[in-house]
Amino acid sequence: MKKLVFGVDIGGTNTAFGLVDEAGDIYAESVVPTKKFLYFDDYPAFVVELCESMRRLMDSLSFEFNLLGIGIGAPNGNFHKGTIEQPANLWKFKPDEPNKDESRRLFNLTADMGKYFPSIPILLTNDANAATIGEMVYGNAKGMKDFIMITLGTGLGSGFVANGEMIYGHDGFAGEFGHTTVEKHNGRKCGCGRTGCLETYVSATGIKRTVFELMSKMTEPSEMRDISYNDFDASMVSAAAAKGDPIALEAFRFTGEMLGRALADAVVITSPEAVFLFGGLAKAGKFLFEPTKWYMEENMLAVFKNKVKILPSGIEGKNAAILGSAALIWQTQKA
């Protein structure tokens, strides 16, 4: 009988899920709108809709199969507890809600879904860790024991693998590389409440902020000057860089500098074989990879120089989020 697992990726707008085999083939997939369940009190209804939708997807297959487990990637997902804890863009308190104690926003998703899928193993981790495990199972990190995954979206996520194992830490939240401080004085304000975090410089929103700062300082002409801040997105920087736009090229140089310097520090802790860049901003290719590599080597401790590769993800272009979540289960099957 065919063996399948569910991969579930919970995002602020949609939750995507699919049935995946060991080779990474997706047999069926669907979405439910997470944004429909915006507030704290909407969480139980979200669980019901998600589980019922997953059941319907299972029923849609025309062949019998054995469901081995459910893997979930989610913001602020805690692998040790199977919980989602104080997510920034999920199940928030209403503006007029009393007792806005953030500690109440702890959602035991694996236990709640287990009521609908009894006896089925359910594993949960944060979305960046899921992408990291997906890279190990399906991508370019096959066979690697030590590597770092950097996910570049609205923010900067990361996963660290040492000796073939994810580093989760004692509380399940290890690997928050995006919230290392790279500019303590006069740094950019971060959504986490601190100042100067790496993700405020190296992310889709970070490079957008960089471009508008550069346009206020540089006098060179740029097609990006005609785009309002609200209409601007990071893909426009890549398009402009491909045409030789000086502001776009400088924005990528600066972004690569910030990431490269930070990676040079990370390398001395875990000594990875490679660093993988994943996500929308990584699609800029050489415009991001080349300065990142240069500044990483420029700032690297001598013993590590020219030992660490910077590579693109091997699951870009596929349904990476679903595959990464599914890999949580397939990894345990191989263990």
Q: What is the pLDDT of residue 179?
A: 94
Q: DSSP H helical segments within 177-270, as ranges?
A: 204-217, 235-242, 246-270
Q: DSSP H helical segments within 16-78, as ranges?
A: 43-60
Residues 306 and 208 in one domain: yes
Question: Taking Cα atoms as reference points, which of 159, 154, 190 lies closest to residue 11?
Answer: 154
One-letter amino acid identity for 70? I
Decide: 138 and 327 in contact? Cβ < 8 Å: yes
Q: What is the pLDDT of residue 335?
A: 57
Strand 122-126 relative to strand 106-107, pairing: unpaired
Residues 127 and 179 in one domain: no
* Number of independent structural domains in the chain: 2
Residues 247 and 105 in one domain: no
Residues 270 and 308 in one domain: yes
Residues 38 and 187 in one domain: no
Q: What is the pLDDT of residue 267?
A: 98
Q: What is the pLDDT of residue 99?
A: 83
How many degrees, rounded to 5, is the angle at CA 83 between CA 81 and CA 84? Answer: 145
Q: φ, ψ for residue 186 (rounded to 5)?
A: 60, 25
Residues 110 and 91 in one domain: yes
Residues 102 and 7 in one domain: yes
Residues 220 and 259 in one domain: yes
Residues 213 and 108 in one domain: no
The mean pLDDT values, 10 residues at a time, for the chain of 335 residues are 96 93 94 94 97 97 96 94 91 88 94 97 94 92 96 92 94 92 93 92 96 95 94 94 97 98 97 95 95 98 97 83 93 74
Q: What is the pLDDT of residue 269?
A: 96
Residues 86 and 205 in one domain: no
CATH number at residue 104: 3.30.420.40
Structure pTM? 0.90
- Dist. CA 247–CA 238, nearest whole Å: 11
Decide: 123 and 329 in contact? Cβ < 8 Å: yes
CA-based Rg of the chain, rounded to a whole angstrom? Answer: 21
Q: Measure Cα distances from 136 to 152, 187, 319 in Å.
A: 18, 34, 15
Residues 96 and 168 in one domain: no
Q: What is the pLDDT of residue 334?
A: 67
Residues 81 and 202 in one domain: no
- The residue range of the domain holding 273 is 144-312
Residue linked to tokens 């990637």: 73
- Give Cα 170 to chain centroid, integer Å: 21
- Dist. CA 135–CA 124, nearest whole Å: 17
